[in-house]
Amino acid sequence: MWIDSHCHLDAPEFDADRDAVVARALAAGVRMLVIPAVAAFDWDSAREQAHRYEFAYALGIHPLFVMQAGEQDLTLLAGQLERHRADSRLVAVGEIGLDFFVPGLDADRQQFFYTEQLKLARRFDLPVILHVRRSADQLLAGLGRIPVRGGIAHAFNGSAQQAQRFVDLDFKLGFGGTLTFERSLQIRRLATELPETALVLETDAPDIPPHWLYKTAEQRAAGEPRARNEPAELPRIAESLAYLRGWTPAQTESITGANACAALPKLAALHVG
């Protein structure tokens, strides 16, 4: 079966038809999703959706939400991780990280929350799901100070050298809709040249649509609605990876599924059928 290693199934974009979204994913062969929370307001939702549909989840504070978070949220997160540490569906601390692309974010505050959440990942012996946006070197520096048991660098778009440093720290690199654009030269080069054991697939649904769903600025200005990505798109996204690597669809499914389970070891017990 296919594993979508990063899907925000609890996002409000899916509130109207979540059951249908899951049904389409299952029909496409996507039988496992990892639902990373982004802030305290959706920890319960991520967990509830994972249990409702028999998927997996992660708990964390996303860098885009640290401006609204306080230190008490870290205490609450520690309490959640303690309370649910025996939950087989809790597979990581995430989505955490650093974002130096979006303007107006406090870099020091991001760094504080990132560091404290790495400490929690160590305390609870969990891998992490990293948000990497113009921040690979700073994230790697943090991992050098506070090593964790690996995880996934989500939507990776750094250099080959940065990619290898993540791989050396037992991280897998997430590839999704951006891979389907022929102009994504760096991402497609990485997907082609990295060790096969380094690659996992993701949609980041409802975000990062593949090229066949993407709406241009002109289309959006003309009133066309913003494209919504779905986990059912994963096998078609995987065709781009298969083409670049010279793999069959079955090989792509097997290799990326095994890599996801290696990155998030608790997935292996859920990855059945």
* Mean local confidence (pLDDT), 34-61: 98
Read off the pLDDT band of 216 (50, 70, 90). confident
Calpha distance 234→6 (Å, rounded): 11
Instruction: Report the domain count for the chain.
Output: 1
Residue numbers of the domain that contains 224: 2-270
**pTM of the prediction?**
0.96
Q: Across the chain, which distance is largest between two alpha carbons, in Å?
A: 50
- Output the pLDDT for position 217: 67
Q: Hey, what are 121's tokens?
A: 């990942």
> Which tens digit of pLDDT belongs to each residue from 112-165?
999 999 999 999 999 999 999 999 999 999 999 999 999 999 999 999 999 999
* Mean pLDDT, the chain, integer: 96
Question: Which CATH number is 55's domain given?
Answer: 3.20.20.140
Read off the pLDDT band of 225 (50, 70, 90). confident
- Output the pLDDT for position 273: 45
> Which tens digit of pLDDT belongs to each residue from 127-136?
999 999 999 9
- Output the pLDDT for position 113: 98
Read off the pLDDT band of 271 (50, 70, 90). low
Residue type (1 letter), 249 = P
Residue type (1 letter), 264 = L
> Which tens digit of pLDDT belongs to each residue from 81-114?
999 999 999 999 999 999 999 999 999 999 999 9
In this predicted structure, the answer to whether residue 69 has a pLDDT above a threshold of 90 is yes
Q: Which of 117, 154, 101, 133 is nearest to 43 (CA)?
A: 117
Virtual torsion, Cα 198, 199, 203, 204, nearest 10 deg: 10
Unique residue bearing structure tokens 């540490």: 85
